[in-house]
Amino acid sequence: MTTMTTAPRRRSVVSDTAAVWTRETLTIVRDPFSLIFSLLQPLVFLGLFAPLLDGLAGGEAGLGDTLQFFLPGVVVMITMFGTSMTGANLQFEIMTGAFERILATPLSRPALMIGRALKELTPLVVQALVVVLVALPFGFDLYPLHVVLGLLVLGVFGVGVGALSYALAIAARKTEWVFWAVQQSLLFPLLILSGMMLPLETGPEWMRIASKVNPLTYVVDAERALFAGELNGDVLWGVVAAFVTAAVGLWVGVRSLTRTIF
């Protein structure tokens, strides 16, 4: 009598990422109020900063053109806030012991980071849609296919930022305040030096130089071009910056995860 053995199913990063994304996204479904509350921040920025920018321009450009410049920056801001805080959830799981149980599963290490970062990007689609719909009556021009491409670029970039946030949480796993100190100290300078809120052309030279070495600058420029319905060199540089950030983030994150004893 022969005994038939079934070979174990080969796992892939894609299937593991889907499993992690599903698990993490269920937390949003169970708590939809967090998604609703997260919509307030981009709407407040849009409602307060856009009229100010239009006023600085003397009202000559019109609110529609001001929104065309400022709204993509708001979408990038949503992405940065969401993915850069991915590590906070990881710290909580490390403290409760839940993360050790996850590490005992056969899930691939990159999938743990990619799935979590994509979970943070999931609400971005809803938030971006709401922000765009609010801006449409005020003269914002919508280019749907370009916006979809812009969200894909942000998705790649967000995976890298999420992985770096993951690595920071692992490094600061014993002192929670260190994570928030570093995250906040880096987040706002990166946003400001990317020209997300205000154009840097009129700023001091050192700010313009600093913006050139800030990968977020190229992502913001790419999003502005795409949301304006353009495909130009800014988009290409933004795609390059997004993929480089994702590659560096995943390398640092996986290295931190595999070499750390929890």
In a domain, 11, yes or no: no
How many structural domains is the chain composed of? 1
- Domain-located, residue 5: no
20 within some domain: no
Asked whether residue 15 is assigned to any structural domain, the reply reads no
Range of the domain at 130: 34-259
User: Which pLDDT tens digit goes with each residue over 134-156?
Assistant: 888 888 888 999 999 998 899 88
- pLDDT tens for 208-258 read 898 999 999 999 999 999 999 999 999 999 999 999 999 999 889 888 877
Low-confidence residues in the chain, pLDDT < 70 = 1-11, 32, 34-35, 54-62, 261-262
CA distances from 157 to 50, 55, 118, 200, 238 (A): 25, 32, 10, 22, 9
Three-class secondary structure assignment of 101-132:
HHHCCCCCHHHHHHHHHHHHHHHHHHHHHHHH
* pTM, 2 dp: 0.83
* Residue 240, domain member (yes or no): yes
What percent of the chain stands above pLDDT 90? 20
In a domain, 23, yes or no: no
Tokens 């400001």 appear where?
192
Is 215 a member of any domain?
Answer: yes
Task: Decide if 8 is inside a domain.
Answer: no
